[in-house]
Structure 1
Amino acid sequence: MNIVIAGGHGKIALRLARRLAGRGDTVTSLIRNPAHEGDVRDTGAAPAMCDLEAATAEEAAGHLGGADAVVFAAGAGPGSGAARKDTVDRAASVLLADAAESAGVRTFLQISSMGVDEPPRPERGEVWAAYVRAKKEAEDDLRLRDGLEWLILRPGRLTDDPGTGRVRLDAPYVGHSEVTRDDVAAVLVALLDEPRVRRRVLELVNGDTPVDAAVAALAAEPAAGSAR
């Protein structure tokens, strides 16, 4: 496969690129900082400079030619303010989805967040509320797109522990728990390989089911429709 990953220097993105490139897939990782090119190349992916906060959809589409799928793994990250939660976690996702449609790339996997269906607790503060709102609005935009075979993945609390290879992957709600970034990457690879699991919102935490079995179980379910 030919996969483009947005937010290519993120912790999940680097793990995903390494897994995909390691099995022989072609991977392009979109980054905005030239200093990150070496880290991306170390995974076996090709870095491409594209600042999704400044690019047009046409410019972004220029990086998607020939791709089989796009993975939106970008995020404003810790320490960013409320404004960048909107420009990255929402607007950049919308722009990349526009670019995918323009480039004729049908498959679009979006990494979102648990809790977006719940009102943010006031004690979490303004930045958290902006983050939750941005992720929710990005999801809502994607669900309305008939031109994309989209999939939304909401991981639980992320850790850098070694992957377990065992997860709980299902429609909301699976409960608030942890999941390793290694296991998120493994699930994304399995979901990219399974075209029957599309137009769904899935939540992911560590659990008892092997990754491939968890994805296969979802593929065996009746089609869920547009999940709008």
Structure 2
Amino acid sequence: MRIVIAGGHGKIALLLAPLLTRRGHQVHALIRDQSQAADIAATGGVPVIYDMERDTPADLAAAVAGSDAVVFAAGAGAGAGSGAARKYTVDLNGSVQLADAAEHTGVTRFVQISTMGAGSPPEPGTDEVWAAYLDAKTRAEEDLRSRDLDWTILRPGVLTDSEGNGLITLGPPPIPRASVPRADVAATLASILFADNTFRCTLELVSGSLPIESAVSTI
């Protein structure tokens, strides 16, 4: 399969790509900066320069055309320059653009990385940027659910860089909020991509006691 990952230089994407390429799949990773290309190549993936905040829908359609699946793993992040506005231009509009491109090119499989907390109003007193992030993710989910695609929305809990152990809790919301290593998120995505029982499902993910393949197969 040929799989396009938007946000290809993100931490989860860089863990997901080698899981897929080692299984014989072709990964095209969308990145904004040519300087990131070597990191993509090291995963076995193909770097594709595309800036979702600047480039055109035609550019994105060209990058997606001929693929079997797309993964939206992009996010504005929490660094400098990532205020509330970029949650909408990246986390919301980026997903909408990718879904548009998938529809226009006939790619039906779409996996979106969201977050636990999406789908509910932020608690009173929530930081403005975090509230915007939750709102953008909620609206991106709503947009994807409205489309005639084989979509899956994955909402991980608090992300950590701890080593994954392959044991998770996965299911429809609500699941009690907890943490999960990015490595286990990537491994779960690698399984979900090919699991038609997860089509049109919104799933929450935290560390747990079930092996990933077993957790996915029980959805």
Instruction: Give the TM interval when normalised to the shorter protein.
Output: over 0.9
Separation of aligned partners in 2, 1:57 and 1:200: 27
Matched residue count: 217
Give the share of equivalent positions with the same residue, in percent. 53
- The residue aligned with 1:41 is 41
Residues 138-153 of structure 1: matches in 2 within 5 Å? Answer: 138-146=140-148, 148-153=149-154
Residues 1-228 of structure 1: matches in 2 within 5 Å? Answer: 1-79=1-79, 80-146=82-148, 148-218=149-219
Superposed CA deviations along residues 25-66 of structure 1, whole A, max 9, x for unmatched, are 100000001111111111000000010112222210101122
Aligned residue identity for 2:138? K
Q: Which runs of 4+ in 1 moved over 6 A?
A: none
Displacement of 1:22 after TM fit? 1.4
Separation of aligned partners in 2, 1:58 and 1:145: 20
Q: TM-score, normalised by structure 1?
A: 0.93
Q: Structure 1, unaligned stretches of length 5 or more?
A: 219-228
Aligned residue identity for 1:16? L
Separation of aligned partners in 1, 2:85 and 2:112: 20
The 10-residue stretch of structure 1 (114-123 or 90-99) with the greater mean CA deviation from structure 2 = 114-123
RMSD: 0.9
Q: Structure 2, unaligned stretches of length 5 or more?
A: none
Displacement of 1:209 after TM fit? 0.3
Separation of aligned partners in 1, 2:91 and 2:191: 24
Q: TM-score, normalised by structure 2?
A: 0.97
Separation of aligned partners in 2, 1:132 and 1:74: 14
Displacement of 1:118 after TM fit? 2.3
